[in-house]
Chains A and B, each alone.
Chain A
Amino acid sequence: DADVTQTPRNRITKTGKRIMLECSQTKGHDRMYWYRQDPGLGLRLIYYSFDVKDINKGEISDGYSVSRQAQAKFSLSLESAIPNQTALYFCATSDTGTSGLLYNEQFFGPGTRLTVL
């Protein structure tokens, strides 16, 4: 089974709908991230969480919210979806390690392709 899973893998929705994207991991990592990817713009950080009680905004958090339900679960919500939120969304995890530094590699999920009509 995959270490980082995302559900759903594909979603088409309408403007104004509330959407939740879910991420689960079995790697035992304490850090989790949500990114979106648009053609030509690369990966942009939406939110990240360094542990269950820690939530931080990334560079493009407007219009999004997150919930860290457990160490293994990190959900991304679009309260009222709009067409420019159409993108490929990735969840990622990383481990603090014994040193507590941030340079550990990130492990990505397979992505959720979201289309907002």
Chain B
Amino acid sequence: SQKIEQNSEALNIQEGKTATLTCNYTNYSPAYLQWYRQDPGRGPVFLLLIRENEKEKRKERLKVTFDTTLKQSLFHITASQPADSATYLCAPDTGRRALTFGSGTRLQVQP
């Protein structure tokens, strides 16, 4: 069955450091992969989308990589700030049906 794995343990880092979150998937052949941010009690908000033919994509302090051989996407936040503290969800998809989300990794940036 299709499975999406994100580290269920919270990631704690110091302000100014780079946070790296991992999304692994199995039994998928996604054409693209999306990343969302979710704050407690609120709906997820779209951050970035990367296509299968793109190795890397950047947006301000965010960088996403997509390795279809490893079946993995890495999400980086450089120069992290306490305001970056949230849960980050990945959503790989084939493009043929509705999105399926990973359970998310909670990031805590300490001042």
Partner of B98, one of A4, A33, A88, A107: A33
Q: How far is the CA of A5 from the CA of B36 in the complex (A)?
A: 19
Tell whether B41 is near chain A: CB-to-CB under 8 Å.
yes
Interface mask (B61-84 → A, CB under 8 Å = 1, otherwise 0) = 000000000000000000000000
Taking CB atoms, residues of chain A closer than 8 Å to B49 are 103, 105
Q: A101-B95, A103-B93 are in contact. Are A108 and B44 (CB under 8 A)?
A: yes
* B43:A110 contact, CB within 8 angstroms: yes
Q: How far is the CA of A42 from the CA of B8 in the complex (A)?
A: 10
Tell whether B59 is near chain A: CB-to-CB under 8 Å.
no
* B103:A42 contact, CB within 8 angstroms: yes
* B98:A56 contact, CB within 8 angstroms: yes
- CB A5 to nearest CB in B, in angstroms, measures 11
With CB as the reference atom, state the residue of chain A lying closest to B99.
A106
Tell whether B10 is near chain A: CB-to-CB under 8 Å.
no
Tell whether A66 is near chain B: CB-to-CB under 8 Å.
no
* A41:B103 contact, CB within 8 angstroms: yes
- 11 more contacts with CB within 8 A, not counting A92-B43, A111-B42, are A42-B89, A42-B103, A42-B104, A43-B89, A43-B101, A45-B99, A56-B98, A90-B43, A90-B44, A108-B45, A113-B41
